[in-house]
């Protein structure tokens, strides 16, 4: 048995799970939020015992140290010393074209992660910070990087390259990279187990504040909605998704926006927030049910965009065996699932509305009798996927 500490380091938060492998037992989990502020808060859970407390987490080093002290606490701890942690698995969002698999971290790996700061400015800098802090705090534990982009390195060039001069692909590495790969890989593996068919055609729909959809054929990513950076594709909480490039030039050249203002607009003030004034889908659904036409239109637009991608991916895979809904919205919103699956009979997608309304944290099938396509709600578990990949690497 080996203890794997999973770290997901954000700009002002640090999420963690301590997972014993290969039993996959979650020994402890939690997070520190509002790092750098006066009212930083630590949440720690072990079995049925949950603790929340205000701490002075001036930076990520202090936050991780506080987590470690809880892990070794005489009353609520689960380990006696830091050396009981065999490895620390780090989620890193952007690995560019340098990393196609999980890797042991060294100075060269850290330099590459730094090179991709400009491609994922909200994610890669705090990801690297988490690595550097963990190296100092756990000097005897192996440090491992698991990249969100790695699962999508199997996407063929004809799908990954943009129709701009070749030099931008060959010299500047401008291409589709894809994101949420750890989640898509985890749920597609679960779907393959459910189908009992490794040679299956699956569409995985990850719907949260960030959203993406992936065509998975024979267990490998074939195409994906997010591209060079995580802003295009589906309509998201605050991100626009697909937009005509001419709109960007018009905003700058005719309406006087700066490029940074346009970037902020498309990343932080668009999507469901821009359409409705709300970024939380639960509020949008409540407003729509109460007659708010803008909210209902936003839901319709959201589902319409997903349906377009389903149609495209059915075409490139020449068929479909299973449709997966995952992540916060995908797992919990029967409204979105219903809108997406409505009038999809031509593709053999038929939803059972009663099954769709059932709430459960386990994998469940919600297709109607006679549906040619399996419709699955699969709770994602990126931390477990990172633990599995880390354990496989160090074993």
Residue 244 lies in a domain: yes
329 in a labelled binding site: yes
Residues 110 and 221 in one domain: no
Residues 93 and 204 in one domain: no
Residues 7 and 86 in one domain: yes
Residue 173 lies in a domain: no
106 in a labelled binding site: no
**DSSP element (H, E) containing 273:** helix 271-276
Which of residues 90, 122, 147 is at a domain's end?
A: 147
Domains in the chain, number? 2
Residue 216 — φ and ψ, nearest 5°? -120, 115
User: Measured between alpha carbons, how far is 393 from 90 in angstroms, rounded to an integer?
Assistant: 13
Write down the pLDDT at residue 286: 96
Please name the residue that has the structure tokens 């943009």: 162
Q: Which domain holds residue 82?
A: 2-147
Residue 119 lies in a domain: yes
**DSSP per-residue codes, 92-116:** ES--TTT-SS-EE--HHHHHHHHHT
Residues 87 and 219 in one domain: no
User: Measured between alpha carbons, how far is 144 from 129 in angstroms, rounded to an integer?
Assistant: 14
CA 268 distance to own-chain centroid:
17
124 in a labelled binding site: no
239 in a labelled binding site: no
Measured between alpha carbons, how far apart are the two ends of the chain, in Å?
10
311 in a labelled binding site: no
- Token code pair at residue 193: 């187990």
Cα–Cα distance list, 324 to 73, 182, 204, 219, 310 (Å) = 40, 15, 5, 13, 11
- Token code pair at residue 287: 């407003």
User: Measured between alpha carbons, how far is 9 from 1 in angstroms, rounded to an integer?
Assistant: 25
Question: Residue 221 in contact with residue 187, Cβ under 8 Å?
Answer: no
Residues 6+ apart with CB under 8 A from 165: none
Residue 111: give its domain's CATH number. Answer: 3.30.420.40
Write down the pLDDT at residue 11: 66
Residues 242 and 142 in one domain: no
Residue 384 lies in a domain: no
Active site residues: 148
Write down the pLDDT at residue 229: 85
Residues 247 and 112 in one domain: no
Residues 115 and 197 in one domain: no
Residues 135 and 195 in one domain: no
Q: Which residues of 219-257 are buried (b: 16+ CB within 10 A; e: fewer)?
A: eebbbbbbbbbbbbbbbbbbbbbeeeeeebeebeeeeeb
Question: Residue 233 in contact with residue 213, Cβ under 8 Å?
Answer: yes
Question: Residue 333 in contact with residue 309, Cβ under 8 Å?
Answer: no
Cα–Cα distance list, 192 to 154, 182, 217, 322 (Å) = 18, 16, 10, 9
**DSSP per-residue codes, 354-386:** HHHH---SS-EE-BPTT-SSEEEE----HHHHH
Q: Indicate yes or no: pTM above 0.95.
A: no
331 in a labelled binding site: yes
Residues 202 and 99 in one domain: no
User: Measured between alpha carbons, how far is 216 from 230 in angstroms, rounded to an integer?
Assistant: 19
Q: What pLDDT tens digit does each residue of the chain (395 aa) get?
A: 899 999 888 767 788 999 999 999 999 999 888 888 878 889 999 988 888 888 888 888 888 888 998 999 888 889 988 899 999 999 898 888 888 889 999 999 999 999 888 777 777 888 888 899 899 889 999 999 999 898 999 999 999 999 999 999 999 889 999 989 999 999 999 999 999 988 999 999 999 888 999 999 999 999 999 999 889 999 999 999 999 999 999 999 999 999 999 999 998 899 999 999 998 899 999 999 999 999 999 999 999 999 999 999 999 999 999 999 999 899 999 999 999 999 999 999 999 999 999 988 899 999 999 999 999 999 999 899 999 999 999 98
User: Measured between alpha carbons, how far is 314 from 283 in angstroms, rounded to an integer?
Assistant: 32
Residue 232 — φ and ψ, nearest 5°? -95, -175
CA 355 distance to own-chain centroid:
26
328 in a labelled binding site: yes
Residue 241 lies in a domain: yes
Residue 387 lies in a domain: no
Cα–Cα distance list, 296 to 102, 266, 276, 304 (Å) = 42, 21, 9, 12
Write down the pLDDT at residue 362: 92
Residues 285 and 348 in one domain: yes
Residues 232 and 362 in one domain: yes
User: Measured between alpha carbons, how far is 329 from 302 in angstroms, rounded to an integer?
Assistant: 12
Residue 156 lies in a domain: no
Question: Residue 144 in contact with residue 105, Cβ under 8 Å?
Answer: yes
User: Measured between alpha carbons, how far is 143 from 110 in angstroms, rounded to an integer?
Assistant: 11
Residue 33 lies in a domain: yes
Residues 280 and 338 in one domain: yes
282 in a labelled binding site: yes
Question: Residue 117 in contact with residue 36, Cβ under 8 Å?
Answer: no
280 in a labelled binding site: yes
């Amino acid at each position: 048995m080996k203890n794997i500490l999973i770290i997901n380091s954000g700009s002002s938060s640090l999420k963690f799970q301590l997972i014993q492998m290969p039993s996959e037992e979650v020994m402890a989990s939690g997070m520190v939020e509002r790092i750098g502020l006066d009212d930083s808060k630590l949440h720690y859970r072990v079995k049925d015992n949950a603790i929340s407390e205000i701490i002075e987490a001036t930076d990520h080093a202090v936050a991780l140290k506080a987590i470690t002290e809880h892990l070794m606490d005489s009353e609520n701890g689960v380990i006696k010393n830091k050396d009981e942690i065999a490895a620390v698995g780090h989620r890193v969002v952007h690995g560019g074209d340098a990393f196609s698999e999980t890797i042991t971290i060294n100075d060269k790996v850290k330099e590459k992660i730094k090179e991709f700061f400009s491609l994922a400015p909200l994610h890669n800098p705090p990801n690297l910070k988490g690595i550097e802090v963990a190296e100092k705090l756990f000097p005897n534990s192996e440090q491992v990087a698991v990249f969100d982009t790695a699962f999508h390195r199997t996407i063929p060039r004809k799908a990954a390259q943009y129709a701009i001069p070749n030099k931008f692909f060959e010299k500047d590495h401008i291409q589709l990279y894809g994101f949420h790969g750890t989640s898509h890989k985890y749920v597609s593996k679960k779907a393959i187990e459910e189908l009992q068919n490794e040679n299956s055609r699956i569409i995985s729909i990850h719907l949260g504040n960030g959203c993406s959809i992936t065509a998975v054929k024979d267990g490998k990513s074939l195409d994906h909605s997010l591209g060079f950076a995580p802003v295009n594709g589906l309509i998201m909480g605050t991100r626009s998704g697909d937009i005509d490039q001419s709109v960007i030039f018009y905003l700058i050249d005719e309406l006087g926006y700066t490029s940074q203002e346009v970037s902020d607009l498309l990343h932080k003030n668009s999507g469901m927030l821009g359409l409705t004034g709300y970024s939380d889908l639960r509020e949008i659904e409540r407003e729509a049910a109460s007659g708010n036409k803008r909210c209902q239109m936003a839901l319709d637009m959201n589902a319409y965009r997903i349906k377009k991608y389903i149609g495209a991916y059915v075409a490139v895979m020449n068929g479909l065996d299973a449709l997966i809904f995952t992540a916060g919205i995908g797992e919990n919103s029967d409204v979105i699932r219903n809108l997406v699956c409505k009038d999809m009979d031509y593709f053999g997608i038929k939803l059972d509305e009663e099954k769709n309304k059932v709430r459960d944290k386990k994998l469940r099938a919600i297709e109607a009798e006679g549906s040619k396509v399996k419709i699955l709600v699969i709770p994602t578990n990126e931390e477990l996927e990172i633990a599995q990949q880390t354990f496989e690497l160090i074993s």
